[in-house]
Structure 1
Amino acid sequence: MSALRVTAERLTILDHPDADALELAQVGLYRAVVAKGAYRTGEFAVYIPEQSVLPDALIGELGLTGRLAGSRRNRVRAVRLRGELSQGIVCRPGALDGVDLERAAADDTDFADLLEIVKWVPPVPVSMSGDVDAAPDLLPWIDIENLKRYPDVFAPGDLVTVTEKLHGTACCLTYHASSGRVQVTSKGLGARQLALREADGNLYWRAVRGHGLPAVAAALADRLGADRIGIFGEVYGKGVQDLGYGTDAGAGLPGFAAFDVCADLGGRLRWYDPADLLDGELPLVPRLFHGPFDLATVLALAAGTETVSGRDLHIREGVVVRTADGKYSPRIGGRAVAKVVGDAYLTRKGGTEYE
């Protein structure tokens, strides 16, 4: 999941092709369905993204009582309204009366705390949890922002690699060359600098052992002269999320596909494309495109069916885009990397989103 931010945004208003009383308010490449005439192009409003959990008072103010997702009907998720995908909520909450939203947009002000909006965190199954230890020296994975929210992360023609985004759970391994110590965590736990204690029944440790990640990381540390190696991959299969890719993670070896590598070179972190280092060593996420960045190409690749199983078993979650040279993006304040999630994935029924 990307980081939750509730911000003021400049709107572009578009016609709804199948509803006279509705329009589409565009923020970046996101579109939210709004009442016709409520906003005009160039005006500013607050954008509340998907996976936001709203307080009851705000839900009532916005007229959304009983219309949101989750058991408490308080969570924002993508929906189709009269055939058009609506992602997030565009509004002007009363709590922000008198606030200059144009200035707030320029200052990139985050209103999440003021509006008491929090990020939805799903409950974690027992097999994906466990006892933890403090681990301040982990190489943690990062939140990836959505290209629809930040469409200017890449410039046309930037050399990029597009890989399939798998619907599993991120497994983060840190190998310490000086001691041979191996730390394993999830994205959520790693963000809190916590590592999972080794346990036979733990999903992440089963994947790490079964796919031989410690030996691969040790060889890579020696090859690169690194103090620490981070191998980041997706653990997947039936029992992990609702999309299983033909693998039963409960009855057998969980699926694993590496999507990133980080090396600590004397205190300087360098990121590598796993295809350059791990091809033939570990399973990798499928590479769908490598070449000049083109927005239409990326959006098209986010749709369709998965390629992991080789049998087109179900929908594709989406794609992840990275620059080939790992350049810095001032727009998101970090590596130039972004994701696009497919429309069919967002609106599927009975989906799970464990971290």
Structure 2
Amino acid sequence: MSTLRVTAERLTIHEHPNADALELAQVGLYRAVVAKGAFRSGEFAVYVPEQAVLPDELIAELGLTGRLAGAAHNRVKAIRLRGELSQGLVCRPRALAEVDLERAAREGEDFAERLGIVKWVPPVPIAMSGQVEPAPDLMPWIDIENLKRYPDVFEDGEPVAVTEKLHGTACCLTYVADGGEVRVTSKGLGAQRLALVEDEKNLYWRAVRGHAVPAVAAQVAAELGAARVGIFGEVYGGGVQDLGYGADSRRGVPGYAVFDIAVDVDGQSRWLGPEELAKVLDSGLPVVPTLHTGPYDAGRVLELAEGRETVSGSGLHIREGVVVRAVSERHSSVLGGRAIAKVVSGAYLTRKGGTEYE
């Protein structure tokens, strides 16, 4: 999931092709449907992203009572309005009436706390939970931001790798070379520095044992002289999320595919670049599909985010989206961290009956 930030943004207004009373307000590469005439290009307004949970007072002020997602009708979710994908909310809350939004946009001020907006946290099914223990030595995972919110992460023509984003649950394994200790956790628990106690019934432990991930981590540590190795993969299959890719997590070994590896060498942590990652995974460990390697083109990336998945081999489901990263692992001044971003498909965001467990 992306970091939740509620910020002031400069708008670009586009005509809605299918509705005379509506327009499209563009923020980055996102577009949100708004009432015609409510905003003009060049003006500043507050952008509330998807997965934001709004307080009742703000919902009522915006005229959205009963119209948002979730059991409490308080969560912002992508929808289609008259055929156009609308992601997030564009508004000018009364609580910010005295705020200079142009200045706030320039300074990157975050209004989430001031407006009482929090990030939605998906539920955790029993099969994905379990007994936990403190684990301060876990290799940390990072939230990947959406390219539509940060369109300047990559330069046109920059060599990038685009991989398919899978709809499962992130499994984070840390291998400590001194003693051969193995820690397994989920993304949510890992953020709290908690590991799952090994249990043959636990989904994550079944996946890493079934695919011999600890052995690969030990091999990576030996080859690179790493004190710690973090292998990050997606566990998937029927019983995990609504998109199962032809696998069944309830019987046998769950589906699993690696999407990232981090190593700690001489006290310095680094992420393996796409080419280095591919060489490491020659061991036969499953890896997320690579859809494109070559010059960066934003339009092409947006196209690749749509369509059918390739994991099952038969296109059983819509594609969740893609992840883009620089071929040469580098820092992004736009993100303040790794040059990596995601794009989620419109079909995935607006599908019916979808599950979003973490």
Same fold (TM over 0.5): yes
> Does 1:314 find its partner at 2:317?
yes
Partner of 2:5: 5
Partner of 1:86: 86
Partner of 2:154: 154
CA RMSD of aligned residues (A): 0.7
Partner of 1:28: 28
Letter in 1 for 2:308: T
CA distance in 2: counterparts of 1:267 and 1:112, whole angstroms: 36
Structure-to-structure mapping, 1:1-355, within 5 angstroms:
1-272=1-272, 273=274, 274-355=277-358
Deviation at 1:7, TM superposition (A): 0.5
Letter in 2 for 1:181: E
SS at match of 2:136: coil
SS at match of 2:263: strand
Deviation at 1:239, TM superposition (A): 0.5
On the 8 A contact 2:216/2:283 being kept in 1, the answer is: no
CA distance in 2: counterparts of 1:110 and 1:14, whole angstroms: 26
Identity %, equivalent residues: 71
SS at match of 2:115: coil
Deviation at 1:276, TM superposition (A): 2.4
CA distance in 1: counterparts of 2:219 and 2:62, whole angstroms: 56
| 1:59-112 alpha-carbon deviations (Å, 9 max, x no partner) | 000000011011111110000001110000000001111001111111111111
- Mean alpha-carbon deviation: is it higher for 278-287 or for 232-241? 278-287
Unaligned regions of 5+ residues in structure 2, if any? none
Deviation at 1:267, TM superposition (A): 1.2
Unaligned regions of 5+ residues in structure 1, if any? none
| 1:126-182 alpha-carbon deviations (Å, 9 max, x no partner) | 010111111111102110000000000000011100000000011000000011000
Letter in 2 for 1:290: T
- Mean alpha-carbon deviation: is it higher for 273-282 or for 154-163? 273-282
Which portions of structure 1, spanning 4 or more consecutive aligned residues, are displaced by more than 6 angstroms?
Answer: none
Structure 1 length normalisation: TM-score?
0.99
CA distance in 1: counterparts of 2:279 and 2:50, whole angstroms: 34
SS at match of 1:221: helix
Letter in 1 for 2:143: D
Deviation at 1:219, TM superposition (A): 1.0
Letter in 2 for 1:277: V
CA distance in 1: counterparts of 2:29 and 2:89, whole angstroms: 14
On the 8 A contact 1:216/1:281 being kept in 2, the answer is: no
Deviation at 1:279, TM superposition (A): 2.4
SS at match of 1:279: helix
On the 8 A contact 1:234/1:257 being kept in 2, the answer is: yes
CA distance in 1: counterparts of 2:11 and 2:29, whole angstroms: 11
Letter in 1 for 2:84: E
Letter in 1 for 2:355: T
CA distance in 1: counterparts of 2:290 and 2:8, whole angstroms: 35
